[in-house]
Structure 1
């Protein structure tokens, strides 16, 4: 082996501790330019970018994999404050044609469809991978905190015989001649698993056959699901999510400061007690304060934005829980609320949503754990109990009071980073019109 071959690889972030030394770097040719016989090339590796300066080099097309050996010198205008003066240059794997988009010049808002069409290359962009890095740390923090609180990670089927929410918005598939569907939620399975581990969570894709084409929806997205048993009411579930979000933001502050700076985004402070407001009070507030009439059973997107604006202004909170949803706006398994005298209120549930910076990122609540009550609810929702039998039978065997929530990972990532379209918070998004790449 040559001396170069035995040299350890140095990453861009490691250059400050190698000033004056000869290093070997490997990465992608991010950008290049010639200035009067002096060649500047920008090398991109997993940790960042490095300016390299040389002369007489035969440079390949951008995005080629290359190796640079050179001396590290301080330079105030170079990325990271250091550059590499090239002594030796080698092409590891040459690009065979120009990239369809100039990676250093990409902007999400300029030509979004082109960026998605060529996602196999555009995902290499600094901002694109920064968003995915933040999401990776978000997922790690999600897992770590829940495990610290005694939760067990589970894996549930993604091919199912019926929907978790009554059969709507399902992708049908042929399962060896039988009708089946892609799972729209692990809801029913994670409730069953409460009877095993009491506290469970899952990180997995879910599928919604909804024909909308908006900046906030995907047809396949990553759902962060949580379920916990032996609770008093939905307040315990909201308190858990409060602690979880605080832990996630702490980790992002520790590990993703560079990515947030690159994307000109701020990490929110999570209040010790996220504000709460009932759905009916929320609707009244946005009507009286902002003159916005809310239609339908829930809050519309504009109402969510206005309500978030109100709590940001009045309580300096980017988060707000909307509680006490009506039965008509919640799935059949949502537990009814109680009246002050202790009796059940058939019209109001213990369901909630969490809004963050103007958009819903969580839906949750307490679930029905009593078998008779669950069967009554299935009948009231005019669902077929036979298709839900594999789920409902567990409630014959002493299920505890329980509840949980689900967070859309892409929505949370997008709102954290100020990304206007949720598709750019997923490496390879699936929306109404996109099956590739």
Structure 2
């Protein structure tokens, strides 16, 4: 059993506590031995604090123990708070007792102080240490904040949070690259999105959202793709693309504003000054994007997807969020509604931040006959969507929605260029551990 119980986190120890006894629990972040005075930098989830041990003012046991402490060992410190003009927080703790709760091995695979840099691959191999670096901790505290803001945003607007299946009987959504798994005596597939389920749920709850983990068996080897990812999805009845684009604008601005106000400490820790976004976001049609690229020296034929090089060029022209709308129907999934007056173009949109696609969505097809037609046009078998199509016989409302990559949004917020830096334990085609 623990002999002591924590009285304060490091950031709760202020000058107002001068002369008071505190108990701190955490990790040995660093040790400095200056001969007649020794310093232990103690770290917990809130930050660091200086434990100061002057010769003759602490017990011999405490004084000698500090020099032997190994970094990242887990310790308990009981001591007296004292104001200090030198210590980082303006206070220090003079230790009465120090107890080692669990000694760390030495040497460490990484330097958690960040003084000795390591490449990303090595950091991910030792992620359990890498995450203890204060700047890394800050990224995932920001992720926690974004998740809270996301739920608050949708709940305040009357949306119901739903949880949809991850195990699918057939490869839906256009036969995209899905992972197959053995499910007793059957082969089944891992979901790449909640798309078909959230559409059906608009006929029940009208307004739904989901934050969930999904899977894509794409052999992408880029700085912005992973095979396991978290998606923020919404779907709303009696809306079209214009309505949900407005919701997406509101959502992104709401998150940025909330992070700027509530995550200032974490943003400072990663040296990021978050810009305020202005609505409405700029819009380009697909055709306008192609014309812009042609002026920039890159020709993309109508009907072809915009290549990465094209997005990089557009990102230089438009460094803040912008929509690309009115895509060729052939480039988008079967459930996106074509324009009535020009079926070769559909009511789809992508939201990009500079060069990075962050979200995509559009108006969905709610007419069963048109949906079957589009399924066939994409070379798919309507029988594979039998249970989904049945829902369209019994009052499927007009609806629209979008899906947003949480980690891509975090890349934008934190200024990170590799998606693996904003995922706790990333999974790509090469990495399954830790």
TM-score between both structures, scaled by the size of structure 2: 0.92
Query: CA–CA distance in 2 between the matches of 1:164 and 1:77?
Result: 62
Counterpart selection for 1:278 from 277, 280, 285: 285
Query: CA–CA distance in 1 between the matches of 2:114 and 2:408?
Result: 25
Against the structure 1 CA distance between its residues 398 and 125, is the aligned structure 2 distance closer, same or farther, given a 3 Å change threshold?
same
Query: CA–CA distance in 1 between the matches of 2:362 and 2:275?
Result: 24
Counterpart selection for 1:146 from 133, 147, 154: 154
Instruction: Look up the match of 2:274.
Output: 267
Counterpart selection for 1:240 from 222, 244, 247: 247
Query: CA–CA distance in 1 between the matches of 2:40 and 2:4?
Result: 22
Against the structure 1 CA distance between its residues 107 and 221, is the aligned structure 2 distance closer, same or farther, given a 3 Å change threshold?
farther
Instruction: Look up the match of 2:423.
Output: 426
Shift of 1:165: 2.1
SS of equivalent to 1:66: strand
Instruction: Look up the match of 1:68.
Output: 77
Instruction: Look up the match of 1:315.
Output: none
Against the structure 1 CA distance between its residues 164 and 107, is the aligned structure 2 distance closer, same or farther, given a 3 Å change threshold?
farther
TM-score between both structures, scaled by the size of structure 1: 0.92
Against the structure 1 CA distance between its residues 129 and 214, is the aligned structure 2 distance closer, same or farther, given a 3 Å change threshold?
same
SS of equivalent to 2:275: coil
SS of equivalent to 2:344: strand
Instruction: Say yes or no: does 1:32 pair with 2:31.
Output: yes
Query: CA–CA distance in 2 between the matches of 1:419 and 1:71?
Result: 40
Query: CA–CA distance in 2 between the matches of 1:106 and 1:167?
Result: 47
Whether contact under 8 Å (1:42, 1:51) holds in the other structure is yes
Pairing 1:408-423 to 2, within 5 Å after superposition: 408-423=405-420
Query: CA–CA distance in 1 between the matches of 2:39 and 2:229?
Result: 40
Pairing 1:221-260 to 2, within 5 Å after superposition: 221-231=229-239, 233-260=240-267
Query: CA–CA distance in 2 between the matches of 1:106 and 1:396?
Result: 63
SS of equivalent to 2:110: coil
Query: CA–CA distance in 2 between the matches of 1:104 and 1:191?
Result: 48
Aligned-pair Cα RMSD in Å: 2.0
User: Which segment is superposed worse, 158-167 or 239-248?
Assistant: 158-167
Against the structure 1 CA distance between its residues 320 and 31, is the aligned structure 2 distance closer, same or farther, given a 3 Å change threshold?
same
Against the structure 1 CA distance between its residues 89 and 243, is the aligned structure 2 distance closer, same or farther, given a 3 Å change threshold?
same
Instruction: Look up the match of 2:58.
Output: none
Shift of 1:374: 0.3
Instruction: Look up the match of 1:331.
Output: 333
Deviations 1:103-123 (A, max 9, x none): 112677x41111111112222
Against the structure 1 CA distance between its residues 378 and 265, is the aligned structure 2 distance closer, same or farther, given a 3 Å change threshold?
same
Query: CA–CA distance in 1 between the matches of 2:354 and 2:400?
Result: 25
Deviations 1:264-303 (A, max 9, x none): 1122322221111111101211321x32334672222232
Whether contact under 8 Å (1:357, 1:415) holds in the other structure is no
Against the structure 1 CA distance between its residues 418 and 107, is the aligned structure 2 distance closer, same or farther, given a 3 Å change threshold?
farther
Shift of 1:70: 2.2
Whether contact under 8 Å (1:410, 1:426) holds in the other structure is yes
Shift of 1:39: 1.7
Deviations 1:129-160 (A, max 9, x none): 11111111101111111011010000011111
Against the structure 1 CA distance between its residues 249 and 390, is the aligned structure 2 distance closer, same or farther, given a 3 Å change threshold?
same
Query: CA–CA distance in 1 between the matches of 2:355 and 2:91?
Result: 41
Pairing 1:98-177 to 2, within 5 Å after superposition: 98-105=107-114, 110-177=118-185
Gap regions ≥5 residues in structure 1: 313-317
SS of equivalent to 2:33: strand
Shift of 1:14: 1.1
Shift of 1:370: 0.6
Instruction: Look up the match of 2:393.
Output: 396
Gap regions ≥5 residues in structure 2: 55-62
Query: CA–CA distance in 2 between the matches of 1:120 and 1:92?
Result: 18
Instruction: Say yes or no: does 1:292 pair with 2:294.
Output: no
